[in-house]
Amino acid sequence: MERPIGKNRLLSRAALKSEDRLLFAPSIMMAPFADSFGPQFRKLWLQVVLRTLEKAGPAFIKWGQWAATRPDLFPRDLCGKLAELHTKAPEHSFAYTKKTIERAFGRKISEIFENFEEIPVASGSIAQVHRASLRFRYPGQQVKPMVVAVKVRHPGVGESIRRDFMIINFVAKVSKFIPTLNWLRLDESVQQFGVFMMSQVDLAREAAHLSRFIYNFRRWKDVSFPKPVYPLVHPAVLVETFEHGECVSHYVDDLEGHTRIKSALAHIGTHALLKMLLVDNFIHADMHPGNILVRVAPGKSTRKRLFKSKPHVIFLDVGMTAELSGSDRLNLVEFFKAVARRDGRTAAECTLRLSKQQNCPNPKAFIEEVEAAFDFWGTPEGDLVHPAECMQQVLEKVRRHRVNVDGNVCTVMVTTLVLEGWQRKLDPGYDVMHTLQTLLLKADWAKSLSYTIEGLMAP
């Protein structure tokens, strides 16, 4: 167990770490001039920020990954650069893994697992994953041992994150008193980030998310999630089924071939998101290609019919999720409808209603600017602008006008945009936003979506 540490001790440790101050000094000193010395200087500053966060520790890496999904708070080029933050982290020792597992479950590792690979198959900023096979059997399980993924939290990660968060919070508060740093909006981001960060540390919480997604998609034949292996679930250790498959980026980046499979993946991904958003109100909020596996079963044939191979999608790492309140859900649906109709005023008004703190300095100016942009998108020239790009530009205006959109709402918007981006690469002819618009613009959109979902769930 990680020992809790007091607030005063945290502050003193943060204050004493002069190397932290030195590490952040270049990016902080360069920030006031990021917009003044030309694009090359700004490009250099973005690279310095990226490298600084990579070296600073797990909380800073997670903050960067989170900030990359918040174009309503940060400039688009900064979000794009932070999206490059890798999740590969230093691995902890097998001795620590063994001790953590045995402490969590009160049994020797050899009593739980028949085989356990000491070298992890993956390592992130919070935990690392080992492949193993269980010694015990489940009722009805085949003779062959069950292969599992064992996710083990890194040593001291909770304490490290708490310490790092104190530093992040201190930097954010200082930035409020430096006019040239106000545009970074660090103070607003830290409050929302804190809730997100601590939810990532508790692996038992991720297991609960997995169980909920499995139930929601229980009738789907082409979507699944790893299954937590209870009772082997603990805040520091999560045992789940080991999922075989190929990263979806293999198909996203494949310019030629797999056309039919790519098209099927685009449809599956879109309708899975629609179900999460509009039916279940429980959204996987970290749906980038690295968290999506694809299995393609070989086709079967009979005397009468040939069944072609069909892809199966597995969603991983569900620690980050989003749920919307009833009012936010209705406003978000109205926002998507407004984007579909190119109705700028309604889109802007919905966005303001989605702000938890009505602190936009000039709501009237925000509405007029959004309305003017939508008026252009309604012209023959503007009609070429993709709806997803319209959403990106609205979020940019949200940032500039300091409209404090609720974090969960923005997460859903950005998840839609991320999914739309790689869906377009999978199948340029398939449009996520168009599908969403087609459903929502119908008077009985809920019934229409229900029919779509039922069709997908059919064997």
* Beta bridge partner(s), residue 307: 300
Among 164, 222, 286, 431, the one annotated catalytic: 286
Nearest-angstrom CA–CA distance, 407 and 310 = 36
Determine the pLDDT at residue 206.
94
Determine the pLDDT at residue 459.
45
Determine the pLDDT at residue 142.
55
DSSP state of 324: -
Q: Are the C-beta atoms of 129 and 151 separated by less than 8 Å?
A: yes
Cα maximum dimension of the chain: 76
Topology of the domain covering 94-153+202-241: Phosphorylase Kinase; domain 1 (3.30.200)
Determine the pLDDT at residue 191.
61
Cα 413 to the chain's mean position, in Å?
11
Mapped to the 3 state alphabet, what secondary structure does 265-315 carry?
HHHHHHHHHHHHHHHHCCEECCCCHHHEEEEECCCEECCCCEECCCEEEEE
Chain length of the chain:
459
Q: Are the C-beta atoms of 196 and 66 separated by less than 8 Å?
A: yes
Domain ranges of the chain: 7-86+163-180, 94-153+202-241, 243-459
Cα-trace Rg, the chain: 24
Name the token pair of 105: 């479950």
Determine the pLDDT at residue 429.
72
Name the token pair of 67: 């900030």
Nearest-angstrom CA–CA distance, 108 and 99 = 9
Determine the pLDDT at residue 192.
60
Cα 41 to the chain's mean position, in Å?
30
Name the token pair of 44: 């250099």
Determine the pLDDT at residue 157.
78
Let me know if 383 is a catalytic residue. no
Name the token pair of 274: 């629609």
Work out the burial of residue 257: count CB atoms within 10 Å of its CB; fewer than 13 is exposed, 13-18 middle, 19 or more buried.
Answer: exposed
Determine the pLDDT at residue 3.
40
Per-residue pLDDT of the chain (459 residues; tens, 9 = 90+): 444 333 343 334 444 355 555 777 788 778 777 877 888 888 898 989 888 888 777 667 777 877 777 776 778 888 888 888 765 567 899 999 999 999 999 999 999 999 999 999 988 778 899 999 998 765 555 567 889 999 999 987 777 767 766 776 776 776 666 665 555 556 666 666 666 666 678 899 999 999 999 999 999 999 999 999 999 999 999 999 999 999 888 887 775 667 888 888 888 888 888 888 888 889 998 777 778 999 987 655 445 444 467 899 999 989 888 888 888 888 888 888 887 777 889 989 988 888 865 667 888 999 999 888 888 776 766 666 666 677 778 888 888 888 878 777 877 877 777 777 777 778 877 666 666 666 665 545 455 555 554 454 444
Q: Are the C-beta atoms of 254 and 265 separated by less than 8 Å?
A: no
Determine the pLDDT at residue 375.
81
